[in-house]
Amino acid sequence: MKKTNINGLDREGLESFISSLGEKRFRAQQLYSWMYEKGVMDFEEMTNLSKPFRSKLNETATISRLKLSQQLSSQKDPTTKFLFELDDGQKIESVLMVYPARSTICISTQVGCAIDCKFCATGTMGLTRNLSPGEIIDQVAMVQQITGEKISNIVCMGMGEPFHNYDNLMTACDILSDDVGMNFAKRHIVVSTSGLIPKIHQFTEEGRKFRLAISLNATTDSVRDKLMPLNKKWPIRELIESVQAYTEATKRRVTFEYVLLNGVNDSIEDAERLKKLLGHLSCKINLIPYNATFGEYKRPTDSSIQQFYEKMAGSKVPVTVRWSKGDDIDAGCGQLATNAN
Ligand code: SAH
Ligand code: SF4
């Protein structure tokens, strides 16, 4: 009989598995707490479970883990990239960035990505498959276990479009933020989307308390259509409206990410338009100088990045430049693509 992988099952999932074994429901809560609150992944170490129940679990269930296949540390930044192998042999990447006051992990949500943004290495892979909730949360558990680092912040900005795998992502984020689960503060979990408008609405309507980031990357539809083909379906104006509905309903601030591409979206006119587009919103802007991939694009010079920044800095909207960490190990934004390894 094939064993059931219970890593990533939420309370409901564990309850239905437990009842299929003919066991009492409170057992589900015990398993939940062992796996996610205490990080114990071996049934034999779950000491408050009776011996017969533990052997039943050993016969019927597994707690499947990611396999570490490579770990690379940057020479320049306190950044480490982890390459993990999944049960079916697929590979995903996670990146840990250690700062003095916090440690942030950037996790993947899919193998590849279907959105096909032209400046992104993951985009060139196409989509292979969604990650399960267990594969999403285990990136955090494994990196904590491997490094001993107490991670404080989680950003879903690795491989994949998180909202393209909405249900699994939400199950994972619920376990990550559950105070009797992995106990991360909801405001310390950021979900970044390229702009799947129906999912932004759903996220708003469900009252999700994780933070939202939007990859805007252009100020006109003609440029965004070329950079991010999904813009043809969900153009800038509708995107901004959906974000405004979110900020008004939740009273939360959104982050806009804007990859700076030399000669494409980095003109002073772009900065002006960006100010106009976002000036009325409760938001901040992260300018991300382009990191080299296999594409045709170039990073603007430092002085034009500075000019763009200064133009924006005069507006009401707070602006920061996100100098990606770990670009010497291809761990920067948009550089994750496991078929390149
Ligand atoms: N798919 C999601 C999250 C992962 S991408 C999204 O697109 O939002 C995380 C961020 O990296 C996005 O803001 C994206 O615009 C940016 N990015 C992609 N490729 C990049 C590159 N080559 N250089 C710098 N940033 C890049
Ligand atoms: Fe996918 Fe985000 Fe890369 Fe676009 S930028 S291809 S949505 S991972």
Q: What pTM does this model have?
A: 0.96
CA–CA separation, 53 and 271 (whole Å): 62
Say which CATH number the domain at 51 has.
1.10.150.530
336 within domain boundaries: no
| Residue carrying the six token digits 């909405």 | 166
Please check whether residue 113 is in contact with residue 122, taking contact to mean a CB–CB distance below 8 angstroms: yes
Query: For 275, which DSSP code?
Result: H
Q: Which of 130, 163, 194 to mutate to test the pocket of ligand 2 (most atoms within 8 A of CB)?
A: 194
Under 8 Å CB-to-CB from 248, ≥6 apart: which residues?
none
Per-residue confidence in pLDDT tens, the chain, 341 aa: 789 999 999 999 999 999 999 999 999 999 999 999 999 999 999 999 999 999 999 999 999 999 999 999 999 889 999 999 999 999 999 999 999 999 999 999 999 999 999 999 998 889 999 999 999 999 999 999 999 999 999 999 999 999 999 999 999 999 999 999 999 999 999 999 999 999 999 999 999 999 999 999 999 999 999 999 999 999 999 999 999 999 999 999 999 999 999 999 999 999 999 999 999 999 999 999 999 887 789 999 999 999 999 999 878 899 999 887 788 888 888 888 765 44
263-256-82 Cα angle (round to 5):
90
Whether 55 and 71 map to the same domain: the answer is no
Nearest protein Cα to ligand 2, atom 8: 160
Whether 136 and 111 map to the same domain: the answer is yes
Whether 9 and 79 map to the same domain: the answer is no
Whether 280 and 310 map to the same domain: the answer is yes
341 within domain boundaries: no
175 within domain boundaries: yes
Does 133 sit in the ligand 1 pocket, CB within 6 Å?
no
Return the pLDDT at 339: 53
Which range of residues forms the domain containing residue 22? 4-62
49 Cα: distance to centroid of ligand 1 (angstroms)? 44
Does 138 sit in the ligand 1 pocket, CB within 6 Å?
no
Estimate the share of the chain in helix, then strand, then coil, as percent rounded to the nearest 5: 40, 20, 40
Q: Tell me how many domains the chain contains.
A: 2
Return the pLDDT at 270: 97
| For the CA of 113, the nearest atom of ligand 2 | 1
Which of 18, 47, 62 is where one domain is finished? 62
Whether 80 and 58 map to the same domain: the answer is no
194 Cα: distance to centroid of ligand 1 (angstroms)? 8
Q: How far is CA 265 from CA 60, 285, 290, 311, 324, in A?
A: 55, 15, 11, 14, 18
Does 334 sit in the ligand 1 pocket, CB within 6 Å?
yes
335 within domain boundaries: no
Q: How far is CA 192 from CA 57, 143, 163, in A?
A: 37, 21, 8
Q: Beta 211-215 vs 254-260: how paired, if at all?
A: parallel
Return the pLDDT at 190: 98
Whether 31 and 130 map to the same domain: the answer is no
339 within domain boundaries: no
Whether 25 and 158 map to the same domain: the answer is no
Nearest protein Cα to ligand 2, atom 2: 161
337 within domain boundaries: no
Nearest protein Cα to ligand 1, atom 25: 333
Say which CATH number the domain at 253 has.
3.20.20.70
36 Cα: distance to centroid of ligand 1 (angstroms)? 29
Q: Which ligand is nearest to the CA of 214?
A: 1
Whether 222 and 248 map to the same domain: the answer is yes
